[in-house]
């Protein structure tokens, strides 16, 4: 849907922004499945069902890659087709924080297993608490970026 000036219609921008939010919701859902899968894996200890967990990690990784690739396409479209470098910059920041969140989540899962395997060792419990704090900070940063994105994407051009 092109306008006379060769620019895309604002409705296309709205659809792109809407799709971005759908992808973020899918990411949240994938994290939930990842967490539930890890909790189920921990319940199989001390003789862990690693094969089942490895399959889950594989599926979740595929989901995150697909979401990430589409988010990057949206970022490009916002920048190139809609001349909205402000919005694409928010997505850049978001992608960095999402990558950090995934790394922290993996670290937390490992720390939780270590803490479960060594309940007598307070250092492992402490590590879990530290990583949870980092995840809380990461969530706050993600929330702030999404708020900025929402504000900037809703303001009239």
Q: What integer is the mean pLDDT of 62-86? A: 95
User: Residue 30 contacts by C-beta under 8 Å, 6 or more apart in sequence?
Assistant: 60, 63, 64, 67
User: For position 11, what pLDDT does the model report?
Assistant: 76
Domain count, the chain: 1
Predicted pLDDT at 155: 72
Whole-model pTM: value is 0.88
Token pair in block for residue 58: 């594989």
Which CATH number characterizes residue 52's domain? 1.20.1420
pLDDT at 4 over 50: no
Separation of alpha carbons 68 and 102, rounded Å: 12
Tokens 């970022």 label which residue?
75
Q: What is the pLDDT of residues 27-54, one digit of tens each?
A: 999 999 999 999 999 999 999 999 999 9
- Whether 22 is covered by a domain: the verdict is yes
77 assigned to some structural domain: yes
**Residue 1: pLDDT above 60?**
no
Question: Token pair for residue 50?
Answer: 């690693």
**Predicted local distance difference test score (pLDDT) of residue 3:** 39
Average pLDDT for 88-102: 97
CA atoms within 13 A on the CB side of 103: 8
At residue 73, does pLDDT exceed 50?
A: yes
Domain span holding position 88: 10-154
Q: Residue 135: helix, strand or coil by DSSP?
A: helix
> How far separated are the first and last CA of the chain, in Å rounded?
18
Over residues 10-17, mean pLDDT:
88
């Amino acid at each position: 849907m092109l306008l006379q000036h060769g620019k895309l219609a604002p409705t296309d921008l709205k659809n792109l922004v809407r799709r971005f939010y759908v992808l973020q919701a899918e990411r949240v859902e994938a994290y939930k499945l990842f967490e539930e899968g890890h909790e189920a894996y921990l319940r199989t200890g001390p003789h862990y069902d690693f094969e089942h967990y490895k399959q889950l990690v594989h599926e979740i990784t595929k989901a995150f890659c697909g979401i990430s690739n589409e988010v990057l396409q949206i970022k490009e479209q916002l920048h190139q087709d809609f001349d909205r470098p402000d919005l694409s910059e928010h997505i850049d920041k978001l992608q960095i924080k999402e990558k950090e969140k995934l790394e922290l989540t993996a670290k937390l899962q490992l720390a939780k297993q270590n803490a479960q395997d060594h309940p007598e060792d307070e250092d492992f419990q402490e590590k879990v608490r530290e990583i949870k704090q980092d995840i809380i900070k990461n969530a706050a940063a993600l929330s702030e970026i999404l708020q900025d994105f929402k504000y900037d994407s809703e303001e009239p051009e």
